[in-house]
Amino acid sequence: MTTDLPAQQQDWPGSTAELNPRADHGEDSWTGRDRLVGKRALVTGGDSGIGRAVALAFAREGADVAFSHLPEEQADADRTAALVRGEGRRVVVVPGDLRTHEANVDLARAALDALGGVDVLVCNAAFQMTHDAVEAFPPEQVERTFATNVFSPFWLVRELAEELARNRGNVLVTTSVQAYQPSDHLLDYAATKAALNNLVANLAQELGPRGVRVNAVAPGPIWTPLIPATMAPEKVEGFGSDTPLGRPGQPVEVAAAFVFLASDEASYVSGSVLGVTGGKPVF
């Protein structure tokens, strides 16, 4: 595993192909064990990073996958689709910006129409941009961060609640160690992740009686295009070295948590936040 990252920068939203070193999404390291055979999953932000690793791992575990991505991320989305298709699974790719209620309704309906149903909803898409002082955070950025990170999961769950209840499915949400150890340069992003933890706890209470499990995965510093695309080069250098394990995580290491929570192995797990943080506490 990589322990030292060189300083680097990309234009937002970033490209997987330009990462140095390359990220591990499980292309050569994930072995499927048929834990999600017959499942149909919808993953937001599935083009790169954690989303790509989840899509690939789910496919290797036997699931069909629909995923969303921003139009600017088409090249990465095409690669993810090819990986899922290469596992012999159905894949549905839905471009769009999930900041509006209408976009989330359209995504949910596209997944339902193409897959014939949804058993697992993975709310993973997120936006962040760093600034060094609270005065530097543009109002439009704060609104975008909350709309992407918090409103979209709320709207998707609202739209798919009946479907998930019918299938005794589950909801998985990507939160973050930032909810517990917020960085001042990620002020708005950290706040959204704390809000998501609360949303997960509430939804587990709301949907549990209907047979739907709701859980979160809270990654620590994970090596994805989001990092060099939203942080200054000097912050990228050494990214993740402050964890007890002394390195950043790889997307495939986070995907393992999603596979567990989506599978029947986690049949009595709901309302939980599973940290994948390299040793940083999530409590």
pLDDT tens digit sequence for 72-116: 999 999 999 999 999 999 999 999 999 999 999 999 999 999 999
* pLDDT tens, residue order, the chain (283 aa): 656 899 999 999 999 999 999 999 999 999 999 999 999 999 999 999 999 999 999 999 999 999 999 999 999 999 999 999 999 999 999 999 999 999 999 999 999 999 999 999 999 999 999 999 999 999 999 999 999 999 999 999 999 999 999 999 999 999 999 999 999 999 999 999 999 999 999 999 999 999 999 999 999 999 999 999 999 999 999 999 999 999 999 999 999 999 999 999 999 999 999 999 999 999 9
Q: Which of 67, 127, 189, 223 is catalytic?
A: 189
**pLDDT score, position 3:** 65
DSSP assignment, residue 22?
Answer: P
CB atoms within 10 A of CB 228: 26
- Burial call 21-38: b when 16+ CB within 10 Å, e when fewer: eebbbbeeebebeebbee
CB atoms within 10 A of CB 103: 17
- The Cα-based distances of 12 to 59, 168, 228, 265 in angstroms read 28, 38, 8, 37
| Percent with pLDDT over 90 in the chain | 98
Helix (H) or strand (E) holding 75: helix 74-86
**pLDDT score, position 162:** 98
CB atoms within 10 A of CB 149: 27
Whole-angstrom Cα distance, residue 195 to residue 184?
17
Closest by alpha carbon to 122, among 70, 58, 198? Answer: 58
Closest by alpha carbon to 19, among 202, 253, 236, 255? Answer: 236
**pLDDT score, position 4:** 80
Whole-angstrom Cα distance, residue 226 to residue 89?
27
| Percent with pLDDT over 70 in the chain | 99
Walk across the sheet containing 40-43 and list its strands. 91-95, 64-69, 40-43, 120-123, 170-174, 213-219, 273-276
**pLDDT score, position 1:** 62
Whole-angstrom Cα distance, residue 133 to residue 127?
18
The CA-based angle 131-275-227, given to 5 degrees, is 30
**pLDDT score, position 89:** 98
DSSP assignment, residue 248?
Answer: -
**pLDDT score, position 169:** 98
Q: Which CATH class is domain 39-276?
A: alpha beta
**Annotation says 180 is catalytic:** no
CB atoms within 10 A of CB 237: 14
